[in-house]
């Protein structure tokens, strides 16, 4: 009687394993599909950036003219981000970027005598309470 109960339970576990395996395959396929979509989008963005860099290289000023006098590229596609061009404008003339004055950091608070400081070789710091 016990043997039959164990055999029934093993059969149920086999069916359960098959259902779990099918669900994992479904999830895996979904993730692979999403990764492929993200990869395609990333490749498209790289192509846009490379095209923008090529256009900027072609419209580069000749001689000692400053970068600010270079003609702006014509209407950029609406999907491109403005951060890279803003970065390029800010770095074109390093003297035009003003850096805020450096502030000195306040010294760290005094260590609590109830804790022991442990610094490992990889630079991580841990504190252990002393009993």
User: Residue 105 carries which DSSP code?
Assistant: P
User: Looking at the domain assignment, is residue 84 inside a domain?
Assistant: yes
- Residues 77-108 have pLDDT tens digits of 554 444 455 555 555 555 555 656 666 777 76
pLDDT at residue 75, rounded to an integer: 52
Q: How far apart are CA 118 and CA 123, in angstroms?
A: 10
Residue 22 lies in a domain: yes
Query: Is the pLDDT assigned to residue 34 strictly greater than 80?
Result: yes
What's residue 129's pLDDT?
Answer: 81
What pLDDT is recorded for position 62?
A: 57
Write out pLDDT tens, residues 36-77.
999 999 999 999 999 998 888 887 665 545 555 555 555 555
Q: What is the pTM of this model?
A: 0.34
Domain count, the chain: 1
> What is the model's pLDDT at position 54?
87
Distance between CA atoms of residues 116 and 112, nearest Å: 8
**How far, in Å, are 47, 115, 127, 128 from residue 122 at the CA level?**
40, 21, 15, 18
- Nearest Cα neighbor of 60 from 28, 39, 52, 5 is 52
Residue 53 lies in a domain: yes
pLDDT number for residue 43: 93
69 within some domain: no
Residue span of the structural domain in which 25 resides: 1-63+80-90
Contacts of 52 (CB under 8 A, 6+ apart): 73, 76, 80, 84
């Amino acid at each position: 009687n016990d043997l039959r109960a164990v055999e029934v339970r093993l059969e149920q576990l086999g069916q359960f394993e098959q259902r779990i395996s099918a669900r994992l395959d479904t999830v895996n396929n979904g993730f692979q599909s999403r990764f492929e979509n993200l990869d395609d989008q990333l490749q498209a963005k790289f192509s846009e950036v490379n095209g923008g860099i090529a256009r900027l290289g072609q419209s580069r000023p000749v001689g000692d003219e400053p970068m600010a006098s270079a003609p702006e590229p014509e209407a950029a596609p609406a999907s491109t981000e403005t951060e890279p061009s803003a970065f390029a404008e800010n770095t074109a003339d390093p003297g035009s970027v003003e850096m805020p004055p450096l502030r000195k950091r306040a010294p760290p608070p005094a260590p609590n005598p109830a804790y022991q400081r442990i610094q490992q070789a990889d630079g991580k710091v841990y504190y252990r309470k002393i009993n």
